[in-house]
Structure 1
Amino acid sequence: MVSREEDGNNLSWGGTLKAYGHPRVVTMLFLGFSAGLPLLLIFSTLSLWLRDAEVSRTTVTYFSWAALGYSFKFIWAPIIDKMPLPVLSALIGRRRAWLLAAQLMVIAAITWMAFTDPSSNLTAMALGAVLLGFSGATQDIVIDAYRIESADQRLQTLMSSSYIAGYRIGMLVAGAGALKLASYFGADGGYDYQAWQWAYLCMAAAMGVGVLTTLVIREPAGEPEPSRYFNSLDHYLRFLVLFLMAVTVFVGLFVHLGEQGEEIKRALSGLVMINSLLTGFLVESLRLLLALAGAYYVARLAVRLGIGNRDMLRETYVAPLTNFFRRYGKAALLILVLIGVYRISDIVLGVISNVFYQDLGFSKDQIADITKTFGLIMTIVGGFLGGALALRYGVMRILMLGALLSAGTNLLFLLLSQAGADLYLLILVITADNLSAGLASAAFVAYLSGLTHISFTAFQYAMFSSLMTLFPKLLGGYSGSIVDAVGYDTFFVITTLLGLPVIYLVYRARSSGMRAVESSG
């Protein structure tokens, strides 16, 4: 089936640019800022604070687990789809109620961390970081659902690019902005807890942008109906107990199996004909599947014990999956594979990119100024360009363009590798790579949005976005080993070749006539 957009969009360039001023598009800029702010307060910014407080490197790396909520947010996304919040949902609507609650939790978590000195109470800091990861991921779930439900498909590409721009700005404020504030308040002269405290309190205040936006926007007209099972306190409590049981087992198994997986990889590493990279990937995949299986069987046990309601679980978790496979039939697996590998070229390369720049001889200041600050600007420009092009020419065409550029621009890194620390060539490479990444991301977010069904927006999009990064990040974890084995030049060729199946999958997705973004417009 061919959509209106595939037939061509007659909107002029002036009309396209004017559409960026649509209230829904502008709203996503501010909500994107609110979504991008929490992430680096768990990662790089917090890592520097902890090292400043003389926390060991090993302990610092453990804090990265606090952001696991972003990878597994699909687990509680169905709750947001189906469960209204008592009192608050009746006052401002279900989506805005969840959004406001998540933003207030983010503020509370950042404030908690601000009033915790890691040099004296590392456990409390860890709990605050976990709360921030959970609440930040929850905010992401609601914003994605709100974006999809609040406007028709024609605006989704522009809203996606606006959201990406706001998200990147939020990350910049939480990264470079928080560090500059800490330095301004006195963190440059040795460890100063109050300097970091004030920096984090400023970040909590910056979340006011998201809260104010939530209070002034309208509730989307297309949100799904709440579940009939969440109509009493008893149902709330029983579901909460079941959910906590399943999550506890999932997290416990995932962490515990990490140690077992390392032992398996070490045992197999000495065997002849065993590929260590493939072994590592398979072991990590098995670890995830076993953790999910453990959570599933605990949920089944809870139902047998009368803690949970079988029909409630079926409506909350099973129905969104069956809905997706029923709508797309045989093409469903093709779509899922495309989602899982579309970003593979740039994510796998991105994991090792900073190390590559340093090995090539660029200074830390050059890396920060060109790859981070200038690169951020190029990503935002690419996002807006991708949105405008997708609005004029259709999402699938720009999705194909993004796949071609993401793979092709990796060859520029090969050129840079052979040229050495050429500053002007680095600027050219970063310009091309980040423009293509922004363009591809905007088109891909719009594509994923079009795959969701209005009855299960939050869960289906959370599932897609988790799948989008899972395989590339697993493979990206071995990028250093690949470089050690074959060198940078061959590695860049490999990342380019990884993009070829993506191009084929996008072609199949377009030519098969499946009801993706443009056929649902």
Structure 2
Amino acid sequence: MQAWATVEDVSLQDIGYLTLVGTAYTIKFLWAPLVDRYAPPLLGRRRGWMLVTQLLLAVAILAMGALSPSSALMPLALLAVLVAFLSATQDIAFDAYCTDVLRKEERGAGAAIKVMGYRLAMIVSGGLALIMADQWIGWGNTYMLMGGLMLLCALATLWAPEPEHVARPPRTLREAVAEPLHEFFTRRGALAVVLLIVLYKLGDAFAGALSTTFLIRGAGFTPTEVGTVNKVLGLAATIIGALAGGSLMARWGLYRSLMAFGLLQAVSNLAYWLIAVSPKNIWLMATGVGIENLCGGLGTASFVGLLMALCRQRFSATQFALLSALSAVGRTYLAGPLTPPLVNWMGWPGFFLLTVVIALPGLVLLKILRGTIDDMEKQGEA
């Protein structure tokens, strides 16, 4: 939508306001208790919400294709807000569904497939959609096509299985709001686990906060070179890392995977340090970006597996939404604001060495909490 508004000469200030459309994703935990408490009449508590949101998403996206940002920016923006709300609600239901339906040994593979699906969707709705809109069928028709793809996705919801054990939903809305928090925070070590969630990918978040700026401004590569490597090699490496992480998790278990992938995730930041201290070399840059994304994919797979393991089935929608929101705290409120002054103070090489150090407290806390994580994983199965 940002690109569409740009090519139709919408003012820069109005385009800036469009970035607020995605706010629903950061506050989705506020209405997650409704998804836990109530169920549509078809397909059960999780698949029912997934189907409803997917059908409404298809209609809303199709409606966006009938408008134009140059002549109907406000109606288009309101539809986009609706799309974001429905999409965030679909996320709530789908994350809860994955938590409920996957067996313990399947969580790693499930997390990997989720990452792969998300990354492939970024290609389709990002790069491919821009090409189709610009060169083939126009913007309106591209939105129509995306709405049709959303309808096709709804078929998977119809065919998907129900969880083997269906938990009793909360009896009241008050219980749906209060009990997930009470149940989680009365577990032994709950606050320490929350801190772990914030810290586990913090080093990775700092390293990635200005990685594109570093490669262009700090290392001297062209936007085309960086874009090609990030979009092609980086994306492929992330998918491979997530799939490999899911496979290894099934054999290693949750704690061992978190520790091994967390260490690799931290050490892989040295690839950016090496790029920073070496003469410009496209092959070194591609290798470094590939390694960093591969290890990041491994860490993401184990981290999503951790979030699923920590959720209790009765409240999985609310608890997963809350935990995933907490996981964004470090990226949003620490890595984003603090990275520029740190780079100005230390330079790029020193900064990337610091990101390895930033990753260590999370790993130390993980080791301390090994028994707690095992206990909470067992409680989450109840």
Contact 1:320/1:459, CA 8 A, preserved across alignment: yes
Contact 2:311/2:380, CA 8 A, preserved across alignment: no
Determine the structure 1 residue equivalent to 2:346: 486
Matched, 1:115 2:58: no
User: What do residues 342-393 of structure 1 show as CA deviations (whole Å, max 9, x unaligned)?
Assistant: 1111222222111111112222221122112211111110011101111111
User: What do residues 15-58 of structure 1 show as CA deviations (whole Å, max 9, x unaligned)?
Assistant: xxxxxxxxxxxxxxxxxxxxxxxxxxxxxxx2211111112223
Q: Which amino acid is 1:168 matched to?
A: R
User: What do residues 97-122 of structure 1 show as CA deviations (whole Å, max 9, x unaligned)?
Assistant: 10011112221222232122111121
**Secondary structure of the corresponding residue to residue 376 of structure 2:** coil
Q: d(CA) in 1 for partners of 2:270 and 2:340?
A: 18
Aligned to 1:179, which of 110, 130, 135? 130
Structure 1, unpaired ranges of 5+: 1-45, 187-194, 230-311
Determine the structure 1 residue equivalent to 2:239: 380
Aligned to 1:224, which of 155, 159, 167? 167
Q: d(CA) in 2 for partners of 1:405 and 1:57?
A: 41
User: Within 5 A, what are the aligned runs for 1:164-243?
Assistant: 164-185=115-136, 195-229=138-172
User: What do residues 289-340 of structure 1 show as CA deviations (whole Å, max 9, x unaligned)?
Assistant: xxxxxxxxxxxxxxxxxxxxxxx42x021111111122x22x1011000011
Contact 1:395/1:518, CA 8 A, preserved across alignment: no
Contact 1:82/1:225, CA 8 A, preserved across alignment: no
Aligned to 2:201, which of 320, 325, 343? 343
Contact 2:55/2:151, CA 8 A, preserved across alignment: no
Determine the structure 2 residue equivalent to 1:407: 266
Contact 2:313/2:380, CA 8 A, preserved across alignment: no
User: What do residues 479-499 of structure 1 show as CA deviations (whole Å, max 9, x unaligned)?
Assistant: 233323332122212211110
Contact 1:78/1:459, CA 8 A, preserved across alignment: yes
Contact 1:383/1:439, CA 8 A, preserved across alignment: yes
**Secondary structure of the corresponding residue to residue 222 of structure 1:** coil
Q: Which amino acid is 1:351 matched to?
A: A
Determine the structure 1 residue equivalent to 2:52: 101
Q: Which amino acid is 2:216 matched to?
A: Q
User: What do residues 392-443 of structure 1 show as CA deviations (whole Å, max 9, x unaligned)?
Assistant: 1111111011211221111211110112431111111112111111111111
Q: d(CA) in 2 for partners of 1:209 and 1:509?
A: 43
Structure 2, unpaired ranges of 5+: none
Q: d(CA) in 1 for partners of 2:324 and 2:25?
A: 10
Provide the TM-score with structure 2 as the length reference.
0.94
Matched, 1:367 2:226: yes
Aligned to 2:326, which of 451, 467, 473? 467
Determine the structure 1 residue equivalent to 2:287: 428
Q: Which amino acid is 1:390 matched to?
A: M
Q: d(CA) in 1 for partners of 2:257 and 2:8?
A: 47
Q: d(CA) in 2 for partners of 1:453 and 1:227?
A: 12
Q: Which amino acid is 2:13 matched to?
A: T
Q: d(CA) in 1 for partners of 2:367 and 2:171?
A: 41
Aligned to 1:155, which of 93, 96, 106? 106
Q: d(CA) in 2 for partners of 1:450 and 1:168?
A: 23
Q: d(CA) in 1 for partners of 2:181 and 2:297?
A: 29
Determine the structure 2 residue equivalent to 1:325: 185
- What is the RMSD computed on CA atoms of the aligned residues? 1.7
Max Rg structure = 1
Provide the TM-score with structure 1 as the length reference.
0.70
Contact 1:375/1:430, CA 8 A, preserved across alignment: yes
How many residue pairs end up in the alignment? Answer: 379
Q: CA deviation at 1:513?
A: 6.1
Q: CA deviation at 1:62?
A: 1.8
Determine the structure 2 residue equivalent to 1:67: 22
Call closer, same or farther: CA 1:512–1:148 in 2, change over 3 Å: closer
